Structure 1
């Protein structure tokens, strides 16, 4: 089967470089437009019987609802697909992060787990994301569309593919962009496309 992992559309915090994590940050007007454009693509490339499941955070859920509406289905929710919590780093500028936690920022940039109150470690994100995607893939027969977030999507896909979580083997998805994975059996995954959006599809046409 094929599984599409989709990142939500743009938010104001994406524009200003703030970590959102578990915070509720709505889509911008552009973010809504991105979601609609991505939904239109899925209306063309995904066959009938698709399942759409999303993080309950509104930026992901609203993106998923746009896709689900295009496909004539309901968007389902799974709390395991929410973004990683960044704890005390959420909502502060990159300069404030570096000023307050210089050693932890360097560790984080090197792929480590910073000792920051409320920060969810990589292995925790991997376990819940992989568990959620594998469970949904077991339950459905048609295409599966998973709408999540930048960090959780990347770490989840690294987990599915058996890649190291200590390095950024895969780049984060862009806003309203997606990756396509093929699943032959539980634990047996191949990455077929990465970081695709309507603009890159038009450029490749």
Structure 2
């Protein structure tokens, strides 16, 4: 048995996302825009799907995002450390310019699709393996009519999608995912083995405002839900 549908949902925006800082496993909460994104995306997700089970990274930005959906769906959030973001070691909290200034060779290698070797970062293969293990375990307890939602992070989700599609860790055939958007996969069985098929990527309510990353539109300052004021 396995869940019939899998939604891999990225958390809403944080201050580090807004500042283009590499978050990794730094535990930072959603900002005002991120909370609006999570609430708006949860409502849109529920228009299309009926979640059965929700698991989330134990990092607060993912947990906060998951709880918007859980409250609306009447479900609990189950934390799972295996769906945390990829660890980036010494690079965490830094901008691209700051990383490039101190580690020019490793930065160039990373941007070209390689693995930084000297900064304490997890490899894509390591992230893909732990993500896939968590998904397989949680999905196995569900049935074909069930929808499993995994609330995670940008780099972790892209690694998981590649692994679930049977691609090599270095495969980079998908673009980065917007905050509070998701990937949808459905399960199939071949030769007695469960497998996954990607049916949608970077899905979400991009029509909710003219600029999703800036929050709700505030025409003439009258939007009641306006925030006060990621790469993952």
TM-score bin, normalised by smaller chain:
over 0.9
Q: Secondary structure at the match of 2:197?
A: strand
Instruction: Measure how far apart 1:167 and its partner are.
Output: 3.7
1:171, CA displacement in angstroms? 1.3
Deviations 1:148-184 (A, max 9, x none): 0000000011110112322421112110000100112
Deviations along 1:16-54, one digit per CA (max 9) or x if unpaired, are 11111110111010100110011111222222x610100
Tell whether the 8 Å contact from 1:110 to 1:166 is kept in structure 2 after alignment.
Answer: no
Paired residue for 1:151? 155
1:148-187 correspondence to structure 2 within 5 Å: 148-185=152-189, 186-187=193-194
- The SS at the match of 2:136 is helix
Cα distance in 1 between the residues matched to 2:204 and 2:83: 20
Q: Partners in 1 of 2:95 and 2:54 — Cα distance?
A: 33
For residues 133 and 86 of structure 1, the distance between their equivalents in structure 2, rounded to whole angstroms, comes to 22
Partner of 1:194: 201
Alignment partner, residue 27 of structure 1? 30
Corresponding residue for residue 44 of structure 1: 47
Conserved 8 A contact 2:82-2:131: yes
Aligned mates of 1:84, 1:8 — CA distance in 2: 14
Q: Distance in 2 between matches of 1:85 and 1:11?
A: 17
Change (3 A) 1:201 1:12: closer
Q: Secondary structure at the match of 1:184?
A: strand
**Structure 1 gap segments, 5+ residues each:** none
Give the Cα separation in 2 of the matches to 1:119 and 1:140: 33
CA apart distance, 1:200:
5.1
Which of these two proteins has the greater Rg computed from alpha carbons?
Answer: 2
The structure that is helix-richer by fraction is: 1
Structure 1 residues 21 and 187: alpha-carbon distance in aligned structure 2, compared to 1, 3 A threshold: farther
Aligned residues: 202
Alignment check: 8 A CA contact 2:162 2:171 kept: no
TM-score by length of 2: 0.83
- TM-score, normalised on structure 1? 0.93
Offset of residue 92 of structure 1: 1.5
